[in-house]
Chain A
Amino acid sequence: MSNIPAELRYAASHEWIKVEGSTGTVGISDHAQSELSDVVYVELPKVGAKVTAGSVVATIESVKAASDIYSPASGEITEVNAELTKKPELVNQDPYGAAWLFKIALCAPDELQKLQDAAAYKAAIGE
């Protein structure tokens, strides 16, 4: 059983987003980090990049493979978690806290309704 905080929303591709005002903070779920295991490298988006929901914005590499990370929302990247470049293992250790990936200024907050709540995500990953 993985940890699925109730206050977050989840993409089918296993990213979570926390919304505060017009800013979203994005990371990957506990289930996703467990599936990846042993994260060794994180490639983050550029601050200022304008992205649409569902586009590839980052890459997380485990020992085995490189995995694309999709933005769950449209907007402009305002901040990235540079700490992950030095400590990629944080993704495994604290996926909802220290291992947030980037912050995004939301330009279409309504689209977040399309994301799953914790219960729907829990069902989607078969837990």
Chain B
Amino acid sequence: MKALQRMALRLALSAAALAATGCASITPVRPWEKGILAKPEMTFEGDTLDLMFTEHILASREGAAGGTGAGGGGCGCY
């Protein structure tokens, strides 16, 4: 019976530890693996002309400009 209890405790501990690590065991995309993300078509707005038009509308109607015009995609280069 005692052995069973100990086993249960260990199982609970393991489960808690695994839950605590969460998604940490899944390795995120590393800086040197972003070749595909860096492609221009990976931007939210793929078409430059269309982006300029949208920006213009936003700037004149809302008085807000900028924030969308970063070059490249998700390269994350420094």
A and B found bound together: no
